[in-house]
């Protein structure tokens, strides 16, 4: 696709328009690793461990292992595509290049954007709830939580606008804080096991929820646990701000997934050793119960603050991803060009940041609970992952001049089948998740129509991306 600016109302004879600023390449391998680890760790493991235990009992670690395996298979597809096309738009760009259908590209972009904003909005509400609990502010669930969540999201937008360097450095701090919280859980659990406390035998005890058998209970639990494994896909949207994405991404992304997968298994074993499955599934603070059971002298307020910063990190990274995705797709002429503008001083996509923040405000104000939104996030991303795995195979017919990572063909095939399977209603996924996803995608269709009309009014229907 040509980089020559189109002529039109803004053109002035032979004088070309001023070049738009580009994004800063500030992320080396260590910052990228912390970005990935910080994105995957967070709201999911802190909030959903108890819900997973409800489904399978003591083998709470098993759904996390299955979710990890599905995520790793799909990560190999992302690695081939991000090293082949190291641009900011991620899955939407890959769909655009593979299928060249404007509607499909837009819906993929919208689904990914919504998953990030929904996840960030959920984290914002969780931040407000943890703030209230840690400092005994006495918010009554409604207006107080909403107002604090909105204020927090505005702060996230300010950090995002300030610059990717500042955002990623703040991410490093928050990642260290949230990692410390999980290491506290692991230390408490391992100390209890070595000291003969707790009940290690629970880790092999299976208890199916309802009348489902073992297989379907594990699958239902996996659809919940998968929310804790998502986040690695956000990193590909930062490709234009990485110093050497082709060389760094393969090792760093796989290392990040292995680190987080190991932490999740150890946290799950620690939790179930100290707290019985039925009790672990009560309330929205399962890991706080683990601290109470294994280390009653540990100040709970401190762990509450750690949890608060963990979900804050999820919000920051997801809003970084969402704004960069909108920016990238605008540059590919799939979204209106105004969303691709970069601030001349801060070098950040400020229109995209404002747009995604406004959507987040709406979700914080009008949409509900953490489990429903978390499950919807996983549902949308599983649909996107299915498309990405198929896109890898389609784009094998599109060679590029530089060397890039190439995944074995059987992996994207397995990834497409496994992700597609986990989308279906046979998994036991709650109906409300499909309803929320349906409403969001319905809004996406309306926005697609608006985008087409705007593009036609300005310069006609955008053509598919070609080599």
pLDDT of 35 higher than 50: yes
Q: Which range has the worst mean pLDDT, 164-178, 213-227, 241-255, 317-331? A: 164-178
pLDDT of 416 higher than 90: yes
CB–CB of 236/384 below 8 Å?
Answer: no
Residue 467's pLDDT is what?
Answer: 41
Determine the Cα–Cα distance for residues 395 and 95; give it in Å rounded to an integer: 9
Determine the Cα–Cα distance for residues 281 and 294; give it in Å rounded to an integer: 17
Residue 119: its H or E element: helix 102-134
Q: Considering the domain boundaries, does residue 2 fall inside one?
A: no
Q: Considering the domain boundaries, does residue 51 fall inside one?
A: yes
Mean pLDDT of the chain: 80
Mean pLDDT of 15-23: 52
Q: Which range has the worst mean pLDDT, 125-129, 218-222, 345-349, 457-461? A: 457-461
Q: Considering the domain boundaries, does residue 293 fall inside one?
A: yes
pLDDT of 5 higher than 60: no
Q: Considering the domain boundaries, does residue 343 fall inside one?
A: yes
CA within 13 Å, CB half, 458 = 17
- State phi, psi for 12 to the nearest 5 degrees: -130, 80
- The count of structural domains within the chain is 1
The closest of 120, 132, 142 to 230, measured between CA atoms, is 120
Q: Considering the domain boundaries, does residue 257 fall inside one?
A: yes
CATH of the domain at 298: 1.20.1740.10
Cβ neighbours around 447 below 10 Å, total: 14
Residue 10's pLDDT is what?
Answer: 39
Residues in the chain: 467
Q: Considering the domain boundaries, does residue 113 fall inside one?
A: yes
pLDDT of 2 higher than 70: no
CB–CB of 34/26 below 8 Å?
Answer: no
Q: Considering the domain boundaries, does residue 414 fall inside one?
A: yes
Q: Considering the domain boundaries, does residue 17 fall inside one?
A: no
Radius of gyration of the chain (CA): 22
Residue 418: its H or E element: helix 410-423
Q: Which domain holds residue 275?
A: 29-458
Residue 433's pLDDT is what?
Answer: 86
Residue 370's pLDDT is what?
Answer: 62
Strand partners, 209: none
Residue 376's pLDDT is what?
Answer: 83
pLDDT of 427 higher than 80: yes
Each residue's pLDDT tens digit, 49-104: 888 888 898 899 999 999 999 999 999 999 899 888 877 657 878 888 899 887 88
Determine the Cα–Cα distance for residues 262 and 411; give it in Å rounded to an integer: 22
**Could you tell me the two tokens for 114?**
């919504």
């Amino acid at each position: 696709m040509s980089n020559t600016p189109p002529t039109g109302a803004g053109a002035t004879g032979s004088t070309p328009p001023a070049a738009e600023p580009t994004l800063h390449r500030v992320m080396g391998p260590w910052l990228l690793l912390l970005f990935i680890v910080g994105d995957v760790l967070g709201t999911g493991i802190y909030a959903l461990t108890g819900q997973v235990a409800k489904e399978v009992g003591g083998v709470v670690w098993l759904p996390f292992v299955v979710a990890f395996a599905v995520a790793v298979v799909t990560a190999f597809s992302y690695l081939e595509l991000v090293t082949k096309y190291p641009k900011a738009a991620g899955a939407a760009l890959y769909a655009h290049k593979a299928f060249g259908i404007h509607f499909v590209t837009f819906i993929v972009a919208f689904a990914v954007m919504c998953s990030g904003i929904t996840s960030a909005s959920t984290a914002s509400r969780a931040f407000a709830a943890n703030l209230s609990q840690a400092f005994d502010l006495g918010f009554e669930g409604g207006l107080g939580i909403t107002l604090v969540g909105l204020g927090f999201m505005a702060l996230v937008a300010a950090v995002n606008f300030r610059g990717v360097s500042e955002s990623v450095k703040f991410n490093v701090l928050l990642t260290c804080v949230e990692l410390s919280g999980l290491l506290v859980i692991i230390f408490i659990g391992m100390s209890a096991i070595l000291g003969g406390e707790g009940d290690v035998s629970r880790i092999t005890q299976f208890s199916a929820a309802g009348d489902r058998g073992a297989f379907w209970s594990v699958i239902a639990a996996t659809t919940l646990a998968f929310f804790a494994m998502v986040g690695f896909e956000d990193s590909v949207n930062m490709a234009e701000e990485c110093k050497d994405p082709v060389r760094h991404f393969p090792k760093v992304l796989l290392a990040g997934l292995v680190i987080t997968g190991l932490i999740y298994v150890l946290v799950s074993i620690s939790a179930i050793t100290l707290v019985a499955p039925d009790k672990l599934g009560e309330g929205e603070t399962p890991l706080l119960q683990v601290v109470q059971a294994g280390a009653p002298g540990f100040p709970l307020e401190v762990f509450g603050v750690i949890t608060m910063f963990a979900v804050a990190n999820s919000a920051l990274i997801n809003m970084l991803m969402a704004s960069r995705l909108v920016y990238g797709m605008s540059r590919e002429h799939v979204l209106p060009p105004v969303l691709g503008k970069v601030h001349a001083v801060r070098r950040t996509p400020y229109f995209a940041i404002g747009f995604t923040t406004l959507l987040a405000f709406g979700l914080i104000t009008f949409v509900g609970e953490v489990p429903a939104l978390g499950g919807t996030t996983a549902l949308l991303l599983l649909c996107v992952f299915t498309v990405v795995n198929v896109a890898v195979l389609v784009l094998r017919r599109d060679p590029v001049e530089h060397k890039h990572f190439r995944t074995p063909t059987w992996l994207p095939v397995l990834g497409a089948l496994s992700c597609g399977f986990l989308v279906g209603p046979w998994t036991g996924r709650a109906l409300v998740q499909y309803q929320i996803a349906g409403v969001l995608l319905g809004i996406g269709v309306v926005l697609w129509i608006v985008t087409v009309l705007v593009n036609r009014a300005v310069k006609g229907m955008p053509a598919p991306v070609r080599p």
